[in-house]
A and B are shown apart, each in its own frame.
Chain A
Amino acid sequence: MGKILRLSLFNLRKNKKEAVAIAFLTLVSTMMFGIFAINLSKVSNAFDESFAQSGSVDTFIMIPDNDYREAYRDILEEDYGFEDVRNGHMLFGLATGVLRDGDKIAYNFTFLTEAENQKIDDGNIIEGMPDEQIESLDHWIILPSFFKYNLGYELGEDFTTVVGGRQYPFTVAGFYNSGLSNESGMLFKAIISPEDYRLLTPVYTESVFLSFNAGDDFNYREYFTRCMDESGDSFEGYAFPKEEEKANETNFLNMFLYMSIILSLITFVASIFMVRNKIRSDIEDQMERIGVLEALGYKGKEISLSYVFEYVVSSGIGGIIGGIIALMATPFMNNIISVMLGREVLSSAKIYMVVPVVIGVIGLILIFALNKARMVKQFPPVVAFRRGIRTHNFKRNVLPLTKAGKSINRRLGFKDSIRNIRTGAGVGLCIFLAGTTLLFCMFTFVMFFNGSDGLVKIMGMEISDDIITINEGVDPYALSEELLELPEVRMTRVTYNYPTFRVDGQKEGVVFSYDEYTDMEYIIPMEGRYPQHDNEVMISLRRSRDYDLSIGDTIVIDNNGVKTSYIITGVVGAMSNNQMNLYMTTEGFRRANGSAMPDCVEIYLEDGVNREEFESKLISIYGQSAETAMSGDDAGGTLEERIQAAASEKIAVLMSTYGVTSVDYAVRVGDQLITGNSRQFVMKELQSYHDLVKSQLDPIANITRMFTGVGAVAIGVVVAVILGIIASSNVKKRRKDLGIMKSLGYSSKDLMTQIAISIMPVTIAAVILASAAAIVINKVFWFELFGAYMKTNIPVLMLTDLAIIAFTFVMTYIGAGKIRKISVNELMTE
C-alpha cells in the first residue's frame, strides 16, 4: 500500500496545477452549497423569529374611513369566527415623497399613533432616543426596522415627507420591530405623535384598519367581496397578511440563494468532469507503470485506489476550506440577510449544516473518480506494457487533409475535436451550464443596468412623470388640454385612478382605461392588440395563464352585481398590482361603471424638464388640496392674504361638502378689489410614480445587478480554470504529437491555435443550447416570479454568445501555453 500512496503523492507533485485547480473547484462548490445550506432556512427563520418578537397580528386590512362600515368587522367576527378583532385609524399616503440628501424618494406609508399601533404589534423599539429627548423634539417619527437595516437611517436624522408640494419635517426618534408593513414594495407603517397625526390628517387619506389573527387560509379578496356584497358599496381595500409580507421580503433573497446553487452545480459538475478527465489521461500516461505494478502482483483495485487517493487529498483540501469559508461567511451573510429583510438577524454558524455538505461533495467526487479509475482493470500487464490499445487507431479518417481548406490549423483543430469527442462532451456540458447561467446573469444585469428602468418596462402600466388626481366636478379633458399648452408638457392622458373590478370566477384586477391606446410607452401587448371598442378588454399575462384565457375568450366584470362581458383582444406582461391587470377603453370602463368619471390626468414631460420645478409650477397654478385649505393652514400675514385664505377655505368647503364645481369671487376692501376663483382647487393630489417606483425597485435593481455581475465574473473565473486545465492536460496528453508537429515547422502559436480551435465546435454547440435554455429560463423566471413577459434581448444574447465563444477560445489558447515549453529536442531525447 505504501507504494500505492507514493504513486499518488508522485502524481500530486507532478500535477500541482491540476491538483490546485481541482481543490479550487471543490472549494467553490462546497462553499456555495454550504452557504445555501446554512442560509436558506435562516432567511425563513429570521423573518419568523423577527415577526414573533414583534408581537404582531398576522393580518391587518385597511379601508378608507369614508367607505368603512361596522358590518365589515362583524363579518370577520361572525362569518370568519376571528376573535379579538381590533380596529383603529391610520393615515394612508400613497407614494409619499421623502427627502434625503437632496433627493426625493417615494414610499407607500401609513402613519399612526403609538396607541393605535399597539392594536397591530407591540411596537418594540430596537433602537431609540430616551423619552425625554423625544419629548424635546417638535415632530418625531419612529420608523420600522427596514429604515435602519436596509436604508441606513440613523437616530436624529431628518425625515422630511413631501405631500402636495409641502414639506413635513420629522426627526427619526427610533426604529421598531414592525411585524407587518416592513417592506419597500408594499407599505411602511410609521409611528408619530397624536399632534402630528392631527396635523397630517387633512393631507392624507384616513383609513380604518382591522387587525386580527387569521391563520393561513384567510382569503382577503373573498372577504372584501363579501363586504361589498353586504353593504352594496364598492371600496378600495388593502390587506397585509403575514404570508405575503414574508414572500415579498424573502423572494429575492431566496432567488439569490438558488442562483448560488446553480453556480455550485456548475463547479461541481466541472470538478467531476475534470477529475474523470485527469484520471483517464493519468492512466493512459502511466500505462507502463501500471503494467509493472500489475506484473509485481498489485491488484487492479489497489492501483485504482492510488488514483483516487490523489483526489481525496486535492478535493478534500478544497472541500474543507470551502466548508470553513461557508461557516466564516456567516456574519457577512447575516448582514446581507439583515439588509435585504430590513430586520435584525442574529445567528451563529452551524457546523452541523456544513459537515454533510463537505462530506457529500467530496464523497460524490470520489465516487465518480473511483468509477473512472476502474478503467485500470481494462489493462492487464501485457496490454499495459503495450500502452493499451491507444496506438491502434482504425477509425474512419474524418476530415481528411486532402480536402483541407486554406487553414491547416483550423483543419487539424477540427480533426482533433472529433477525435476527442468524449472530452468535448464534458467540456460542452460545463460550457452549457456556465453559458446558461451567464446568459441569465447578463440578461438580468443589463436589464438592471440603469437601476429600475428595466423593471418599469415590464410593470404593465404607464409610468408618467406626474399624475394629477382632480377634485370632483373638475373636467379632466379641459385640464388635459390646458396642461398641453404648457411648454414643459409633451403628452397627457386622461384616466381613472386605478380602480379595481371584480371578475366573475377570477381574482379582481386593477383597471387601466384610456380613451385610446396610442403612443403607449410601457403597456405593450405581447400578443393580440389594444382594446378599441367598449366591449373589449386586454388582460395581463398572469390572468391569461392562471385562467387559461386566450384572445377571443370572454370575461365577465361584476360591478356591484351588474355583470358586463368583454372580449379579450390582447395579453400584456404585467408585474404590477398582483399581476392581474385589466385594460379597457374609457367607454369600455363606463359600460361596467357608468357613473364613474375619469379623475386622473397623467402628464409626460419633455426631455430635460426639471420635474421638481414643474411640480411647483403645477401647485402654484392648480393649488393645494381642498382638505388642506379647509384646515386653514394657509392663512398669510397681510390683509389681502388673509382674505384670500378665508375665501379659499369657503370654496374648499363648497367643493368638498356640497359638490360645487366652479366658484368665482370678488371682495372689495376700500379701494382694493380682491378677486379669485376655484381654479386652484383643480388638483386633489399630485403624485409621481417615478419616485415610488424608484424607491421600491431601485434597491432590488441594485442588489440584483451586483449579484448578477459578481455571478458572471465568478462563472468566468470557474470556466477559465476549467478551460485552462483542459487545455493543459490536452497538451500533456498530446506531448509527443505536438513535439512532432513542432519538428515539422509548426510554431507554438500554430499548435495553441489548433487546441483552441478544437474546442470551438463543442463550444458553439453548447452556446447555442445555452442560449435556448437561457431564453426559456429567463421567460419562465420572470413570469413565475413577477407575471411579467420578458422579451429576449437579442443584442445582449448575441454579444454574450460571442463573448463566451471568444473567451473560451482565448482561455483555451492561454491554457495551451504549456506547448511553448516543449522543445523538439526534448521530444527527440525523451
Chain B
Amino acid sequence: MTNSILRTEKLCKSFSNGGVQQHVIKNLDMEIREGDFTVIMGSSGSGKSTLLYALSGMDKPSMGKVIFDGTEIQDMNNDELAVFRRGNCGFVFQSIYLLENQTVLDNVLTGALIVQKNSPELVNKAKELLRKTGLNEEAWSKYPSQLSGGEAQRVGIVRAVINDPRILFADEPTGQLNSASSRDVLDIFTQIHKNGQSIVMVTHDLKTALRGTRVLYLRDGGVVGDYKMPNFGEDDIKERRNNLNSFLEDMGW
C-alpha cells in the first residue's frame, strides 16, 4: 500500500451564476496516493477541472479541506498558495500556456528559477529534459510561435517537471494535439510515471486514460467510481482497454 499524498475532506466548490449558486463539487472525500497515475474522468460539466484546480491549490474550495502532504491548503491566501505550488505542484495545460515572448529554454527556466538558484547544473538539467522529450538544441532558442503543438506541449511538460514536483497535474494535455503528437506526449507521461512521478490527470479521452493506474469517475460533484489498473505496458493493452471501457460504461460514460 503506497502513502497518501493528497486527500480531501468534505470538499465543496460552488460558483455563483447570475445570483444562482451552482454546486460543482459536493462533500467530496478522496485521496491521491504517492506514485499513482490518477486519471479523473467524467462527463462534460461534471467538475473534473474544478476538482483538479482545487486539489492543486490553483483555486480555493468553497468549503471542506484539501490536505496536501499533511498541510491544509484551503485557507492559504493567494500568495501562500503560489509559494506552496512552487515546490509541490507541476502543471500541464490543455492550452499549453507557454510564455510567448520567451524562448523554449527560458520558458523552462522561468518555472525553475522561482524555486531553485541558477546554476550550470540546473541549466543542464533543463537541456537534458528537453532532449529526453525529443527537443534538440536547435529548438531551445525558438519561440513558442515557432513550435508545433506537440513540441510546445513537450516544453510545457518539461517546465512542469523541472522542479521535481510532488504531484504533476495535467488538464487534458492532449486536448489540442493531433493523434501522433498525443501519442508522443502520452509516452512522455508514461515514462515520467515510471520514474516515480505521481500524476493526476483530467481527461475525457479513453486513450489518454489508459495510461493511468487509477481512474476516478466524477458525477454530480462526487466520485462515483474508483478503478485501478496495472502500470501501462505491464498488461495486455486490449484487455486493459476493454476493462476500462466496461468500467466507464458502468459509470454511464
Contacts and interface: CB of A to CB of B under 8 A. Distances in A.
Interface of A: 390-394, 397, 400-406, 408, 411-412, 415, 419, 736-737, 739-750, 820, 823-825, 827-829
Nearest to A393: B143
Contacts of B146: 394
B237 interface: no
Contact of B93 (A397, A742, A828): A828
B23 to A, nearest CB: 17
Contact of A394 (B78, B91, B143): B143
B237 to A, nearest CB: 32
A296 B251 CA distance: 47
Contacts of B159: 744
Interface in B47-65: 49, 53, 58-59
A748 B82 contact: yes
Contacts of A411: 113
Contact of B109 (A404, A737, A740, A820): A404
Contact of A745 (B82, B102, B105): B82
Contacts of A823: 59, 78
A741 B110 contact: yes
Contact of B114 (A415, A736, A750, A827): A750
B234 interface: no
Contacts of A419: 101
A746 B49 CA distance: 21
B85 A401 contact: no
Nearest to A740: B97
Nearest to A416: B101
A406 B118 CA distance: 7
B97 to A, nearest CB: 5
Contacts of B9: none
Given A400-B106, A747-B78, A747-B79, 10 more contacts: A393-B100, A401-B113, A405-B118, A411-B113, A745-B83, A746-B82, A824-B53, A825-B58, A828-B49, A829-B49
Interface string B104-127: 011001110111011000010000
B105 A401 contact: yes
Interface string B73-88: 0000011001101110
A743 B81 CA distance: 10
A744 B171 CA distance: 15
8 contacts: A392-B145, A397-B102, A406-B117, A737-B101, A740-B99, A742-B82, A745-B87, A824-B58
B110 A401 contact: yes
Contact of A743 (B58, B113, B141): B58
B21 to A, nearest CB: 17
A400 B103 contact: yes
A349 to B, nearest CB: 52
Contacts of A394: 143, 146
Contacts of B105: 400-402
Q: Which of A390, A404, A829 has the most CB of B within 10 A?
A: A404
Interface in B119-175: 123, 141, 143-146, 159, 171
Contacts of B86: 744-745
A403 B120 CA distance: 9
Size band of the interface chain B makes with A = 35 or more
A740 B144 CA distance: 14
A397 B100 contact: no
Contacts, number: 107
Contact of B113 (A408, A748, A825): A408
Contacts of B85: 743-745
B171 to A, nearest CB: 7
Given A397-B106, A402-B105, A406-B117, A744 B59 contact: no
A225 B102 CA distance: 79
Nearest to B103: A397
Contacts of B59: 823-825
A825 B47 CA distance: 13
Contacts of A390: 100
A404 B113 contact: yes
A403 B110 CA distance: 12
A393 B114 contact: no
Of A394, A745, A747, chain B has the most CB atoms within 10 Å of the CB of: A745
Contacts of B114: 408, 744-746, 750
Nearest to A819: B78
A737 B79 contact: no
A747 B83 contact: yes
A743 B91 contact: yes
A408 B117 CA distance: 9
A746 B143 CA distance: 21
Given A743-B91, A745-B114, A746-B114, A401 B100 contact: no
Nearest to B143: A393
A522 to B, nearest CB: 57
Interface string B172-198: 000000000000000000000000000
Contacts of B115: 745
Nearest to A827: B97
A679 to B, nearest CB: 84
A419 B99 CA distance: 13
Contact of B82 (A391, A415, A747): A747
A740 B49 CA distance: 16
B39 to A, nearest CB: 19
A391 B91 contact: no
A714 B82 CA distance: 38
Contacts of B118: 401-406, 408
Kindly list the 3 A-B residue pairs having the minimum CB-CB distance in the complex, ordered from nearest.
Answer: A745-B86, A408-B113, A401-B109
A95 B226 CA distance: 101
Q: Which of B93, B109, B113 has the most CB of A within 10 A?
A: B113
Contacts of A748: 78-79, 82
A388 to B, nearest CB: 12
Contacts of B123: 402
A13 B117 CA distance: 44
Interface centre among A397, A419, A739, A742 (most CB of B within 10 A): A397
B187 to A, nearest CB: 24
A408 B99 CA distance: 15
A358 to B, nearest CB: 41
B20 to A, nearest CB: 18
A824 B118 CA distance: 26
A744 B158 CA distance: 12
Nearest to B105: A402
B49 A397 contact: no
B101 A744 contact: no
Contacts of A824: 53, 58-59
Contacts of B93: 743, 828
Contacts of B145: 391-393
A758 to B, nearest CB: 12
Contacts of B53: 824-825, 828
Given A393-B101, A404-B118, A823-B78, A744 B110 contact: yes
